[in-house]
Chains A and B, each alone.
Chain A
Amino acid sequence: MFDGARPQPPAGPLAAEAAWKPTLRRAGVLLVLGLAWEGYGRWIDNDLVFPTLSATLAAFWRLTISGELPARALASLEVLALGYGAGLALATLLVLLAVASRFGSELLATLTAMFNPLPAIALLPLALLWFGLGTPSLVFVITHSVLWAVALNAHAGVQAIPPTLRRVGENLGLRGWRLTLRILLPAALPAVIAGLKIGWAFAWRTLIAAELVFGTTSRSGGLGWFIFERRNNLQIDEVFAGLLAVIAIGLVVEGVVFRTIEARTIRRWGLQR
């Protein structure tokens, strides 16, 4: 009865095989890199310069079991959550203003043009002057690193909404807040999520860097401070373990958290392939 149904996305054994192969390739690449690391480490045979993979993993395991690494990671993530949250709240406010009025739109464009190219870490000296040594300074620079990327992307997303979709919303009697929330936000979601991902990457980098540069910003200290500390103690295997933790957290947030959000929303809706 229906006309020319488009072929459904391939399913079954073929798709399973296609999804399985890249994973195998990725594992192969990791194996080669790991072997190279281990080999090089053994060859120079100097734990103070370049510990082997096995020594790094051992340190990572030891620090995880002792609870030190998870505690440091948690400290970093707490600060990050504060800054990320504040950045999101401000970005939401700016974008809503931009959607609502010409002035808001111009304001957002000007602010992002000014502050987006400014590395967040460059504001740290100023932040320390204003907020002192401690979490508020870190939160300030993280907020700065998140805000502009998210606002810029979300606004671009709203502007790229097909006019037909907006008219459909108006046709259904939606206006103002209801139109924004029910039509514009979901329609702009691909760009919003892209902004959130970029914001996350900026924030994570900025935080670790800030902790490294001005390490003693909080009592317990996060992963960046941990890395700095261990380097001073010449416990290089633990420095490597700390770096591994930074990478691992980055991968988990990118590959699990954001991927899940994407799969449940924009990929399910066909807004992203």
Chain B
Amino acid sequence: MLSPLLALKEVSVHFGTANRPVTAVENVSFSLSEGERLVLVGPSGCGKSTLLATVGGFLRPSAGHVLLDGVPVRRPGPDRMMVFQEFDQLLPWKSVAANIAYPLRLAGVTREVASARAEALIHQVGLTGFGDAFPHMLSGGMKMRVAIARALAAPPRLLLMDEPFAALDALTRRRMQEELLRLWHEHVFTLLFVTHSIEEAVLLGSRILVLSPHPGRVQAVLEVPEDRAARAALQADLHRLLLPEPADV
């Protein structure tokens, strides 16, 4: 078996002062191989976003190791592109096309090649004709499309997504989920996705890691089956796991 693309080894993250330490994540280990879609799911306070920020290099683990291709992660970098939940993650002073081309330009790609690639991505995320628009002219869903296109522009080793669809309306969210899967089939990237929605986790993940809160610990790791009925069963299992009372829907 190949060595994993990403490996977390007994990672703990503490916040707060020496007097009142807060443990956000405790002793979490998992690994992720190429082309996988791992979804971290759990209630708020389970440290899933903290874990993602640690993989992104924005936070240092208090204990344990985060290894990307066997090398410890020290700082943020374009090999782990992050899509944030906030709509203000686009650079307001750059057009849609320039935002998407920016990672390529920073990587030393020529202007022509970068804009050709940006144009192709604009088309793929369904924003044809909006290349010259500035971010403030776009709706929330459109901004998210641009952010995803930008994250894929210079193909990262790992795509990190921190509840990217949580602030969208239900219809847009649904459509974005399907389009993310379509993009995955086209680009086959490796995805680490954080959500608190069980439905989203089952829909998007090839594997689901359930975290328990206070502090965040691995509660369960579940493979997502292809079969529709088996997925529905998994969803019901997850509901039982995460909600103490049976959900009366």
Contacts and interface: CB of A to CB of B under 8 A. Distances in A.
B139 A4 contact: yes
Interface in B119-144: 126-128, 130, 134-139, 141-142
Nearest to B105: A172
A165 B88 contact: yes
A105 to B, nearest CB: 21
B219 interface: no
From A2, A6, A167, A175, name the one whose CB has the most chain B CB atoms within 10 angstroms.
Answer: A2
Contacts of A186: 91, 93
Interface stretch (A90-98, A196-204, A219-227, A264-272): A264-272
Interface string A171-191: 111110000000100110100
A171 B88 CA distance: 15
Contacts of A187: 91-93
B84 A2 contact: no
B89 A165 contact: yes
Nearest to A175: B75
A162 B89 CA distance: 9
A165 to B, nearest CB: 6
Nearest to A9: B137
Contacts of B193: none
Contacts of A168: 82, 84, 89, 91
B142 A2 contact: yes
Given A4-B172, A171-B77, A265-B93, A270 B135 contact: yes
Contacts of B130: 2
B210 interface: no
Interface in A42-63: none
Contacts of B81: 171
B171 interface: yes
- What size tier do the contact residues of chain B reach? 35 or more
B120 to A, nearest CB: 16
A5 interface: yes
B61 interface: no
A114 to B, nearest CB: 32
B249 interface: no
A2 B126 contact: yes
Contacts of B138: 5-6
B213 interface: no
Interface in A1-24: 1-6, 8
A170 B58 CA distance: 8
Contact of A270 (B76, B80, B92, B145): B92
Given A172-B103, A173-B76, A174-B106, A2 B127 contact: yes
Interface string B85-106: 0101101110000000011001
A187 to B, nearest CB: 8
Contacts of B128: 1
17 contacts: A1-B126, A2-B126, A2-B130, A3-B141, A5-B139, A5-B142, A6-B138, A6-B139, A162-B86, A165-B91, A170-B58, A171-B78, A173-B76, A173-B78, A173-B106, A187-B92, A187-B93
Interface of A: 1-6, 8, 162, 164-165, 167-168, 170-175, 183, 186-187, 189, 265, 268-271
Interface of B: 56-58, 75-78, 80-82, 84, 86, 88-89, 91-93, 102-103, 106, 126-128, 130, 134-139, 141-142, 145, 169, 171-172, 175
Q: Which 9 A-B pairs have the closest CB atoms?
A: A270-B136, A3-B141, A170-B76, A1-B126, A269-B92, A164-B86, A186-B93, A3-B172, A269-B93
